[in-house]
Amino acid sequence: MVDLRRARALLAAGVLLAGLAGVVVLGAGDEQFAYTGFAGAPLTLDGTAVITSSGLLELTNGTAQLKGHAVHPTPLAFRRAPGGPVRSFSASFVFGIIPPYADLSGHGIVFFAGNNSFSTALPSQYLGFLNPSNNGNASNHIFGVELDTIRSTEFNDPNDNHVGIDINSLTSANVSDAGYYDDGTGAFHNLSLISAKAMQVWVDYDRATTQINVFMAPLKMAKPSKPLVSATQNLSDVLVEPVYVGFSSATGTVRSRHYVLGWSFAMDGPAPAINIAGLPKLPRFGPKTRS
């Protein structure tokens, strides 16, 4: 188990803890953290979500039509004062999706900021995030970045391999094919969300411009300069206290496994770097031939 009091003391003394597996980096007021693996991490888990013996955060376990959630245990101070604007923030995480078939998976992962109650959320295309009754309601007060591996026409999904910015709805405010832009050539390179390979995502919100930028890259590649997908949305109009951050995932009839290997977050600055070399390894499950 991570000793949070010791972590705070070491950080106050100038000791960086990000290089150790399962250790949490805490900033002033506990406004930043980093998980390099999740062994002993004090996350709030429900549904199918578990932390494996190797330190992986397993959101779904290959069971059909189920959902799982993992949430940082305490809300973060997204506002400096009641009624004030939502502050700038940044998140980074490493994920991997292992499909049962090489060309078919279901359904995806959502990184979210908002409330932490998903009792009425449904699996399958609702990603354990929303349901048919509340999808699109301003009263949801939730922001998400979806990594979606099934095309749901009711949400205007472009394909079965996309990244979307979600504001109270699974119909994304903006969406893009999964991939990244090469810093050298500017060329777009597609990435398969269901490659069973670990990949990294960065999510930035700028209070001054109210711009949300999402970046994606293969593991060990630096954060690209050009965002994969962006949207302008004042999150002060969306989020209400208390605000939690975490992950939601779900399966449908296709029984995929969804994992998070590392995760960092910070208010008013870049998320701490994740120690890639210290991350746990994804399990190996050979894909079946689909009839």
pLDDT at 79 over 70: yes
Q: Quick one: pLDDT band at residue 291, thresholds 50, 70, 90?
A: low
Q: What is the mean pLDDT of residues 71-89?
A: 95
The first and second tokens of residue 157, run together, are 């999904």
The first and second tokens of residue 75, run together, are 């809300």
pLDDT at 198 over 50: yes
Q: What's the count of helices (H) and strands (E) in the chain, helices before strands?
A: 1, 17
Q: What is the mean pLDDT of residues 95-113?
A: 90
Would you give the DSSP letter of residue 252?
-
Quick check: pTM over 0.75? yes
Q: How many CA atoms lie within 13 A of 197 on its CB side?
A: 10
pLDDT at 19 over 50: no
The first and second tokens of residue 258, run together, are 């969804």
Amino acid at the residue 137: N
Q: Which residues contact 184 (CB under 8 A, 6 or more apart)?
A: none
Domains of the chain, CATH where assigned: 34-278 (2.60.120.200)
Q: Dump pLDDT digits (tens) for 38-54.
A: 999 999 999 999 999 99
Helix (H), strand (E) at residue 217 = strand 211-218
Q: What is the mean pLDDT of residues 53-60?
A: 97
Contact between 258 and 59 (Cβ < 8 Å):
yes
Classify 170 in phi/psi space as left (phi over 0), alpha (psi -120 to 50) or beta.
alpha
Q: How far apart are the first and last CA of the chain?
A: 45
Contact between 282 and 198 (Cβ < 8 Å):
yes
What pLDDT, on the 0 to 100 scale, is given for residue 1? 37
Q: Quick one: pLDDT band at residue 14, thresholds 50, 70, 90?
A: very low
Would you give the DSSP letter of residue 10?
H
Mean pLDDT for all residues in the chain: 89
The first and second tokens of residue 276, run together, are 């890639």
Residue that has been written with the tokens 């009624």 in this structure: 83
Residue that has been written with the tokens 């390099």 in this structure: 36
Q: CA 180, 185, 187 angle in degrees (round to 5)?
A: 40
